[in-house]
Amino acid sequence: MKIQMVDLKGQYQKIKSEIDAEISKVIDQTAFINGSQVKEFSKNLANYLGVKYVIPCGNGTDALQIALMSLGLERGDEIILPAFTYIATAEVVALLGLTPVLVDVFDDSFNICPEQVEKVITSKTKAIVPVHLFGQSADMEALTAIAKKHNLRIIEDNAQAIGAEYTFSDKSSKKTGTIGDIGCTSFFPSKNLGCYGDGGAIFTNDDQLGQKIQMIANHGQNKKYYHKYIGVNSRLDSIQAAILNVKLKYLDTYSQARQKAAMYYSENLSEISEIKTPVVSEFSTHVFHQYTLKIADNRRDDLKKHLNDSGIPANIYYPMPLNKQEAFANLAKSPLNLTTTNNLCNSVLSLPMHTELSKEQQDFIINSIKNFF
């Protein structure tokens, strides 16, 4: 049985005629950059998310960098973010001469711990970058309260959670990425809303930030050859926007397929005492960018090998926390213990998760895990 971590081909085959027609249209029009599809996608995604500005850009890492650039920060300003995340979240902070301050995450949700955030705030702290890791929201209500109290900005790294919904204690709800000052996402092919190359976007409801972000992504100009800011050149090209316009229509269906697959895994794996299945926080839906188990007794690496040997891909996100990365040795600060993060890097294992996963494939994976224990 052939099992992939992500089945991009199977997904494409189901929408091939629509996708191919839209790609052809772009090529016929030869408006490869800033074609009508880009504006259309930005409008469609803004409607879907319920946010005022969606500024498409080249990739998710650019989105984070541009978001930080829009805040008018100074060298040495501190940005608080989780130690358990993908490198991009912290990399752009360091690249801009800012200091990443790493804090721990919760053992159950894998998301940033607000109590720790509040403890590491100094007079240099300017922003918090929560990451909605693996597909569910961080505790945005607690983080928003801290940001308000200390006059900090919030940039949400929503690269893994597009389509997830956060519910506040007053029962109102918002899509992740639209709660803080700025939200960032990636359309990397394997992300929940993926294009067929690189892509990303920045969201905000703030008029000033929206206009400034638009300019920074386009060489700091809004009138050609008149540059107000030092910016970057970061664009979503028209072919990618055309593909995303088709795929956005299916995003909720895709999320449901992931949720269904996740539920099936959990129903069958939770009885194994060495395994902890993913926990869904009461304030957020989970769109399962990853389905991530915790494996007890240092048996994670052996289980991974057992699965890989049976032709089942299973990956470790992430094997090394940011606080142990060589690149950050002299650049990042971690004032508090990062016990949970360090433990998670030794115990997490993500199983194949995508929109095309069949029950037969899942049964094969589940049986292989049961055989191991």
Q: Is 341 in the site for ligand PLP (CB under 6 A)?
A: no
- With CB under 6 A as the contact rule, the residue among 48, 188, 364, 372 that binds ligand PLP is 188
Binders of ligand PLP in range 112-131 (CB under 6 A): 131
Q: Is 89 in the site for ligand PLP (CB under 6 A)?
A: yes
∠ at Cα 86 (164, 317), nearest 5°? 85
Q: How far is CA 18 from CA 70, 243, 357, in A?
A: 37, 9, 22
For the chain, the residue count is: 373
Q: Report the candidate in 51, 151, 136, 83 with the shortest Cα–Cα distance to residue 333.
A: 83
∠ at Cα 244 (362, 7), nearest 5°? 20
Torsion of Cα atoms, 170 then 175 then 178 then 183, to 10°: 140
Q: How far is the CB of 89 from ligand PLP (least distance, A)?
A: 5
Q: 26 is written with which tokens?
A: 């772009």
Q: How far is the CB of 63 from ligand PLP (least distance, A)?
A: 7
Nearer to ligand PLP, 85 or 323 (CB): 85
| Binding piece for ligand PLP, criterion CB under 6 A, among 27-35, 43-51, 86-94, 208-216 | 86-94
Nearer to ligand PLP, 186 or 292 (CB): 186
| Binding piece for ligand PLP, criterion CB under 6 A, among 4-12, 81-89, 163-171, 232-240 | 81-89
| Binding piece for ligand PLP, criterion CB under 6 A, among 58-66, 204-212, 268-276, 336-344 | 58-66
Q: How far is the CB of 344 from ligand PLP (least distance, A)?
A: 15
Helix or strand run (H / E) with residue 100: strand 99-103
Helix or strand run (H / E) with residue 235: none
Q: Is 334 in the site for ligand PLP (CB under 6 A)?
A: no
Q: How far is the CB of 223 from ligand PLP (least distance, A)?
A: 29
Residue 157-186 contact track with ligand PLP, rule CB under 6 A, x = bound: x-xx-------------------------x
CB burial class (10 A; 0-12, 13-18, 19+) of residue 229? middle
Q: Is 347 in the site for ligand PLP (CB under 6 A)?
A: no
Cα Rg of the chain, angstroms: 21
Q: How far is the CB of 361 from ligand PLP (least distance, A)?
A: 24
Torsion of Cα atoms, 203 then 285 then 85 then 108, to 10°: 150
Q: What residues line the site for ligand PLP (CB under 6 A)?
A: 59-61, 85-86, 88-89, 131, 157, 159-160, 186, 188, 198, 200
